[in-house]
């Protein structure tokens, strides 16, 4: 072999090496993620610490932490998945310094999509950006966004419990990575270490007519591992269990957040889910054998111009569950979703209050083209109920509403002002 040939051989070997390695996995380049960490934080604590972080330090995220967050977001468990999947029409891109990767949940791996640093597509600078897209050929837009809401929720909970931070942001700019034609960019979640460490103070200053939320001894990892679709809808719930589940859908945190933040819209008391523009436009109804109840997370409410969440002093949260109709209406709900939930001990319905998506002097997000934002929020809220149900050995399912008219009539609400989004039925599982 002459000198020239030897050089060609060395060069070829160098360039072919990654291809040869990757030929084994059938992918261009794949990073196998390590097993996820166990997140020991009790679910309720994680829910109470959920908040949006927009300023990050330069520090990188370890592969172990990234693995944990991605698994929590959309991973597989021995019982199914870490979220309730409607059509599983969602894909997660992970934008890092060296390139854009796709999260492959089946292999729990990152598959290289494109080389290059595209992280500046995000509103906020962070070492990792999680981009979530909806595939329009695989599922309906609003339900897919409800699924993204559940994914986002798990990203928030896992990141915060690992002392990392994130925020849900509208992600149209993700299209500049060059997406396949059927994929529609929806959400970008920056992920990083905090520039200012978390500082939460437990101030459960609450005036309410239902039991106070207790920390269960069930960790976030256990809950995610145990999530499964409901097989039966019987059983009874204690008042405590009902209160925990209802609170998880839209309640206020018992923590006051004194974390330093450069943003004028930093909240001091967060809620269990995020909300676009912090409008929090959902009404949460709870339906039991005895009647229909409305959950009022706080009587101080941005819509009444008293923005309690911005006040850094422990003003009490006045939270109530109010009966709005007597009688057993679970048959009617069953009709509306076309599934028999008439023996479910607790049914939750999220209804969009359109007036709250168009507050005077603020952006109007009441149009149909923005409905996906509110499905994200309803999906996150319903997902919390699923997670909280697990702590009581219950399980639950989320259902789209087939006849919105039936629900509007049942709740005596008008179509021009309200839009019912999702139904969650909670019941006994085989574990109980």
Ligand X SMILES: Cc1cc2nc3c(=O)[nH]c(=O)nc-3n(C[C@H](O)[C@H](O)[C@H](O)COP(=O)(O)O)c2cc1C
End-to-end CA distance of the chain: 74
Looking at beta carbons only, is 191 or 237 nearer to ligand X? 191
382 scored as a contact of ligand X (CB under 6 A)? no
Interface with ligand X in residues 387-416 (CB under 6 A): none
Which of 208, 248, 275, 397 contacts ligand X by CB under 6 A?
275
Distances (CA, A) of 86 to 33, 150, 179, 422: 26, 11, 22, 12
The candidate with the shortest Cα–Cα distance to 86, out of 35, 142, 43, 30, is 142
Looking at beta carbons only, is 85 or 276 nearer to ligand X? 276
The H or E element that residue 376 is part of is helix 371-391
Number of residues interacting with ligand X: please give it, by CB under 6 A: 19
Minimum distance of ligand X from residue 267's CB (angstroms): 5
52 scored as a contact of ligand X (CB under 6 A)? yes
384 scored as a contact of ligand X (CB under 6 A)? no
How far apart CA 194 and CA 260 sit, in angstroms, is 10
Range in contact with ligand X (rule: CB under 6 A) among 12-20, 32-40, 109-117, 272-280: 272-280
Which of 373, 385, 389, 425 contacts ligand X by CB under 6 A?
373
142 scored as a contact of ligand X (CB under 6 A)? no
The H or E element that residue 67 is part of is helix 63-74
144 scored as a contact of ligand X (CB under 6 A)? no
How far apart CA 53 and CA 82 sit, in angstroms, is 23
Minimum distance of ligand X from residue 261's CB (angstroms): 9
Minimum distance of ligand X from residue 116's CB (angstroms): 24
How far apart CA 407 and CA 325 sit, in angstroms, is 13
Interface with ligand X in residues 159-218 (CB under 6 A): 167-170
- Nearest position to ligand X, beta carbon: 274
The answer to whether residues 153 and 59 touch, using CB atoms and an 8 Å cutoff, is: no
The answer to whether residues 135 and 89 touch, using CB atoms and an 8 Å cutoff, is: yes
Give contact residues for ligand X (rule: CB under 6 A). 51-52, 54, 123, 167-170, 265, 267, 270-271, 274-276, 278, 373, 376-377
């Amino acid at each position: 072999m002459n000198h020239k040939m030897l050089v060609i051989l060395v060069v070829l070997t160098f360039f072919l090496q990654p291809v040869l390695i990757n030929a084994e996995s059938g992918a261009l380049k794949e990073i196998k993620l390590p097993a996820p960490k166990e997140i020991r934080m009790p679910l309720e604590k994680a829910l109470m610490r959920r908040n949006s972080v927009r300023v990050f330090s330069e520090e990188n995220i370890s592969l172990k932490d990234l693995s944990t967050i991605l698994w929590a977001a959309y991973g597989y468990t021995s019982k199914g998945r870490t979220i309730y999947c409607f059509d599983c029409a969602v894909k997660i891109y992970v934008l890092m310094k060296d390139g854009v990767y796709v999260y492959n949940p089946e292999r729990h791996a990152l598959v290289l999509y494109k080389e290059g640093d595209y992280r500046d597509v995000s509103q906020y600078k962070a070492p990792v950006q999680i981009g979530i897209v909806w595939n329009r050929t695989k599922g309906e837009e609003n339900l897919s966004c409800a699924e993204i809401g559940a994914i986002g929720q798990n990203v928030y909970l896992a990141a915060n419990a690992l002392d990392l931070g994130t925020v849900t942001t509208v992600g149209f700019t993700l299209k500049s990575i060059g997406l396949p034609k059927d994929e529609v960019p929806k959400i970008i979640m920056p992920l990083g270490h905090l520039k200012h460490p978390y500082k939460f103070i437990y101030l459960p200053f609450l005036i309410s007519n239902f039991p106070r939320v207790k920390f269960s001894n069930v960790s976030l990892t256990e809950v995610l591992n145990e999530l499964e679709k409901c097989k039966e809808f019987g059983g009874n719930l204690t008042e405590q269990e009902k209160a925990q589940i209802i609170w998880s859908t839209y309640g206020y945190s018992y923590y006051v957040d004194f974390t330093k933040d450069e943003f004028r819209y930093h909240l001091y008391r967060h809620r269990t889910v995020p909300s676009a523009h912090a409008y929090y436009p959902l009404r949460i109804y709870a339906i039991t054998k005895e009647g229909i109840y409305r959950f009022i997370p706080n009587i101080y409410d941005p819509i009444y111009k008293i923005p309690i969440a911005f006040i850094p002093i422990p003003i009490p949260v006045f939270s109530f569950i109010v009966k709005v109709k007597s009688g057993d209406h679970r048959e009617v709900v069953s009709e509306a979703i076309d599934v028999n939930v008439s023996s479910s001990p607790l049914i939750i319905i999220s209804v969009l209050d359109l007036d709250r998506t168009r507050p005077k002097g603020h952006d109007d997000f009441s149009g149909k083209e923005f409905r996906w934002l509110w499905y994200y929020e309803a999906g996150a809220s319903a997902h919390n109920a699923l997670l909280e149900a697990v702590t009581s050995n219950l399980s639950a399912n989320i259902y789209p509403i087939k006849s919105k008219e039936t629900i509007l009539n049942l709740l005596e609400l008008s179509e021009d002002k309200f839009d019912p989004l999702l139904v969650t039925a909670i019941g006994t599982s085989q574990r109980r």
